[in-house]
Structure 1
Amino acid sequence: MKNLKNIIGVGLIAFAMSSAYSCETKSKKASDKKLFTTAIIPEAKKPAKQYVKIALLLDTSNSMDGLINQAKAQLWDIVNEFTYAKCGNNSRPDLQIALYEYGNDDLSSREGYIRQVIAFSSDLDEISEKLFSLTTNGGEEYCGQVINTSLKQLEWGKNKDDLKMIFIAGNEPFTQGKLNYHDATSQAKEKDVVVNTIFCGNYEQGIGSKWKDGAIKTGGEYMAIDHNRQVVHIETPYDEVIIKLNKKLNGTYISYGALGASKVQAQATQDDKAYELNEEVAVKRAVSKSSRLYKNSKWDLVDASEDKEFEVSELKKEELPKELKNKSEKEIEVYISEKKAERSKIQKEIQQLNEKREAYISKNQKSEKGELENAMINAIKNQASRKNFKWE
């Protein structure tokens, strides 16, 4: 009996010790796990790619035909300016442009006579196409509401290093509409979006109708332009050569996929539209097409081949152009490579000629830039410097 008690006693002591050790071990593991978890929390990384995001809000009421024509003509100047832009991290930013029209009776009254023409896009042909599609008609111009709408609908992103700007142009009081412009500009400031205002008319009149106040609220710039002013374009000995090279450039595009045929046609159509507007506009568009900002990887095999994920083996035969349908993968690769080399050569020629063209203008005549172009580029450069952008 005594031996039984001893055995039971030893067992209880062993159990107690085992339980204590087990609890200690669990506690230690939990503690170690907690320390380990705390130690591996990574620091937030900044996005590698930086963007310039510009939303153009254009008044398309009856009196704004001149403004629309300036926008059509000077889109390419703005694009060409960003060819030379560099971010604070020494990378080149991607440019995205969105377009809204407001103040047109043809638009829905429920939407405040406002329409998103195109969301943020880097497709320069489509942006040009949408600009040329705009027509004017009388209406109510609600500045606060169109700013608010663009802030809500567009993907502005949260990267503090991106350059995010609204340019709103019109000629009626900034105070019109139910949505107060103070509220709209406050929302813009919260999203790190700078609102720049362009009054189409007398400078003092724009101040009196609160266009300047609308810009100041977000650290933006107020500008007044004569939107009906005719710009004197300067011809140079290099214009005709650049336009001919542009046609050769179009021949280096290899269309593919569902978008291919229509996008090739759109490219040619926008060339024609630019030329119809003015020969100099056609030249500036050609210069844009020779830059890094004119990319069409969604429908062109040359641009698509620049993407890391691109594989010739993954191309579907039925989506290829006629000249490639019966070729082997190796033959397709060679064909793309040849077109890429040809394009690079033409683009370089255009850029070299454009340098001579700009030097000719600078030396022989005073270049009279468009009012809208001047207003936008000055504001862009001033605000870009705050984000450590530089031009080189």
Structure 2
Amino acid sequence: MKKFNILFITLGAYFCFVIANNIYAKANIKNGEIIDNKLPENIAQIQNNVTDNQPKIQVAILLDSSNSMDGLIEQTRTQIWSVINAVSKVRKNGKIPVFQVSLYHYGNNSLPSAEGFNRMLNELSTDLDKVSENLFSIQTNGGQEYAGWVINSAVNELKWSNNPQDFRVIFIAGNEPFDQGTVDWKKAINSATQKDIIVNTIYCGESENTESNLWAMGASQGKGNFFNLNQDEKVVVIPTPYDGEIARLNQELNDTYIPYGNQGRASFERQQAQDMNAFSSPNPSAGLARSEAKATSSYRNSSWDLVDGVAENGVDLNSVDKTTLPENLRSLSSAEIRKIVDEMMLKREQIKAKIAELAQKRLDYIAKNTPKDNIQATLDRLMIDSLYKQLEAKGFQIQR
């Protein structure tokens, strides 16, 4: 009990450090077309420069957000970081891939019926804090679950890579008949396979019925995997002796970020808010998994963080608008700012190394203390197992 009390005190202290402003962003839809809130041109260019010469892993997650799907949404919110951690172990010919995630929700009465009750919440993006923010913005509401329609939307609306060496996949999850709606699911999935997009299906209902068979047929036609998920199963969490220190180091990691540019402050606040969302979720391990993910190569913030911007894109400090920097840096020269950036860069790498070491110890501890007959078929486990097999089939390597 003493260890647990120390853990809870540490996490409580952590929350005191974090100031969060939840910012919910929704794509605008007009006349059936999605009009996303576009990034300023200079930031979009930075993101393009980061990803041009690296292999890509592109994942679209399509979630049923009708009334009965609260368990699915909660599992996705809390377990997405475990998936990100797993993807960070993937390489292609020695190169670290760029990991991009898009998020849709569908089957929700708050969405227009003329658009199939579905909505893109974000494009394929490396901004994982934005993905998390959008996950927490979803509110379940009754509606018609048109799987074919939302698959078709994702296939045709997203900017999928044309490089045959890159990896493209859709995960669609729901619990209603797969053939609802006026868009033929077979044609939608055929459109996906023509673009070399794998379609994996996750059915959140009884495993043996006509509906589950349709979901399995969807995965088969999409050259993917079919899974059955008990979305309401309580996830077993095993506390470890390393949890409190990982949480503390996460706050130290945040202190190395230097927001800049038009989106800098808002993105920095989003980072803090998503820490709060993860650490205050019903699953105590969510915040720890997020902390570990922030120490991996999948967590990229060069579009708004000066440290990443200099390291990844060689941002010219002479061209940075100093009015967008933290107040204590605005009066400094470019040389003085560069010195601080270099100090934060070194400090960040040291913290990341410590988190990575503790994360492995935490993983080993959990594996040692999990009964072999108690391995759960959770959303993250299903997604990771599927991704690893499909990525290896595509020529990617997993650093196990």
| Pair 1:164-2:171 in alignment | no
Decide which moves more: 110-119 or 357-366: 357-366
CA 1:298–1:370 in 2, change beyond 3 Å: closer, same or farther? farther
- How many residues align structurally? 345
AA aligned to 1:381 is Y
Indicate the residue corresponding to 1:341 in structure 2.
346
| Pair 1:220-2:224 in alignment | yes
The structure with the largest alpha-carbon Rg is: 1
SS in 2 for 1:197: strand
AA aligned to 1:380 is L
Indicate the residue corresponding to 2:381 in structure 1.
374
Residues in 2 aligned to 1:310 and 1:354: alpha-carbon distance in whole angstroms: 31
Indicate the residue corresponding to 1:56 in structure 2.
61
1:324-335 correspondence runs (5 A):
324-335=329-340
How far residue 310 of structure 1 moved from its aligned partner, in angstroms, is 1.6
How far residue 323 of structure 1 moved from its aligned partner, in angstroms, is 1.5
| Pair 1:189-2:196 in alignment | no
Residues in 2 aligned to 1:127 and 1:198: alpha-carbon distance in whole angstroms: 20
Decide which moves more: 104-113 or 260-269: 260-269
Residues in 2 aligned to 1:238 and 1:249: alpha-carbon distance in whole angstroms: 16
Contact kept? 2:146, 2:180, Cα under 8 Å = yes
Indicate the residue corresponding to 2:158 in structure 1.
154
How far residue 382 of structure 1 moved from its aligned partner, in angstroms, is 1.4
CA 1:369–1:132 in 2, change beyond 3 Å: closer, same or farther? farther
Residues in 2 aligned to 1:219 and 1:362: alpha-carbon distance in whole angstroms: 31
> Which of 232, 257, 260 is equivalent to 1:253?
257
AA aligned to 2:292 is V
How far residue 142 of structure 1 moved from its aligned partner, in angstroms, is 0.7
SS in 1 for 2:360: helix
Instruction: Note the alpha carbon deviations across 1:349-391, whole angstroms, 9 max, x for none.
Output: 1111111111111223347456111211111111111211111
Indicate the residue corresponding to 1:93 in structure 2.
97
Indicate the residue corresponding to 1:125 in structure 2.
129
How far residue 135 of structure 1 moved from its aligned partner, in angstroms, is 0.8
Residues in 1 aligned to 2:278 and 2:171: alpha-carbon distance in whole angstroms: 22
Contact kept? 1:173, 1:209, Cα under 8 Å = no
AA aligned to 2:145 is E
AA aligned to 1:101 is H
Contact kept? 2:205, 2:212, Cα under 8 Å = no
Contact kept? 1:199, 1:206, Cα under 8 Å = no
Contact kept? 2:260, 2:320, Cα under 8 Å = no
Indicate the residue corresponding to 2:288 in structure 1.
283
AA aligned to 2:367 is S
SS in 1 for 2:265: helix
CA 1:219–1:345 in 2, change beyond 3 Å: closer, same or farther? same
Contact kept? 2:168, 2:198, Cα under 8 Å = yes
1:12-161 correspondence runs (5 A):
48-87=53-92, 89-161=93-165
How far residue 260 of structure 1 moved from its aligned partner, in angstroms, is 1.8
Indicate the residue corresponding to 2:184 in structure 1.
180
Residues in 1 aligned to 2:272 and 2:324: alpha-carbon distance in whole angstroms: 21
Residues in 2 aligned to 1:55 and 1:101: alpha-carbon distance in whole angstroms: 11
SS in 2 for 1:57: strand
SS in 2 for 1:101: strand
SS in 2 for 1:164: strand
AA aligned to 2:146 is Y
Contact kept? 2:203, 2:227, Cα under 8 Å = yes
Contact kept? 1:174, 1:209, Cα under 8 Å = no
How far residue 279 of structure 1 moved from its aligned partner, in angstroms, is 2.7
How far residue 101 of structure 1 moved from its aligned partner, in angstroms, is 0.6
How far residue 125 of structure 1 moved from its aligned partner, in angstroms, is 0.7
Contact kept? 1:275, 1:281, Cα under 8 Å = yes
AA aligned to 1:306 is A
Residues in 2 aligned to 1:321 and 1:283: alpha-carbon distance in whole angstroms: 28
SS in 1 for 2:386: helix
How far residue 169 of structure 1 moved from its aligned partner, in angstroms, is 0.4
Q: Which runs of 4+ in 1 moved over 3 A?
A: 206-209, 366-370
Contact kept? 1:107, 1:114, Cα under 8 Å = yes
Indicate the residue corresponding to 2:396 in structure 1.
389
> Which of 315, 318, 323 is equivalent to 1:313?
318
SS in 1 for 2:208: helix
Residues in 2 aligned to 1:322 and 1:50: alpha-carbon distance in whole angstroms: 38
* RMSD between superposed Cα atoms in Å: 1.4
